[in-house]
Amino acid sequence: MQHRTDSSLERTAGAALAVLIVLQTTMLGALFSSTPPHPPLVVAPFALGPFLGAAIALPVAALVLGAARTREGRAASGVAALFALVSFGPQKWFDPAFAQIWPAVVLAQISIVALGWALYRRTRTVSGGDTGSGAYAGRAMPMREH
């Protein structure tokens, strides 16, 4: 059953990354169109437009690299989650516009937690920390061709 678990973790990571891509792209659109409540143009120490571009590029790169399946994908997924926390982290619960932005904040935080869980479980499986009884227990699952 290890293969099924690995596939499930990959789907969870991919879905969480897709949510972050959509939410951050929506933020970028609101920024460009000045649709309230839009994010500020500049947040110290950087301009928000280029930051959002990077925050969108990271989960796309993570998906291309294998999200939870490969070491590179897990690294890109983790950095993507950290970038998303800048826009959707716990500090947003105290934002004056929270009443207007809460659906995005809550969904992003749920996605970040789900992504973190998938990465943690997949890392334990790959490193041999999970002693399940599946065919690949304690070993890395062979790469699947798509």
Residue 37 φ then ψ, to 5°? -85, 105
The DSSP line for 23-38 is: HHHHHHHHHHHT-SSP
Q: What is the pTM of this model?
A: 0.81
Please state the rounded mean pLDDT for residues 79-86. 97
Sequence spans of domains, the chain: 2-127
Q: Which residues face 60 on adjacent strands?
A: none
Q: Which residues face 42 on adjacent strands?
A: 47
pLDDT at 143: 58
Question: Among 14-18, 20-24, 134-138, 141-145, where is mean pLDDT lowest?
Answer: 134-138
Please state the rounded mean pLDDT for residues 8-32. 95
pLDDT digits (tens, 9 = 90+) for 89-144: 999 999 999 999 999 999 999 999 999 999 999 888 776 654 443 444 445 555 55
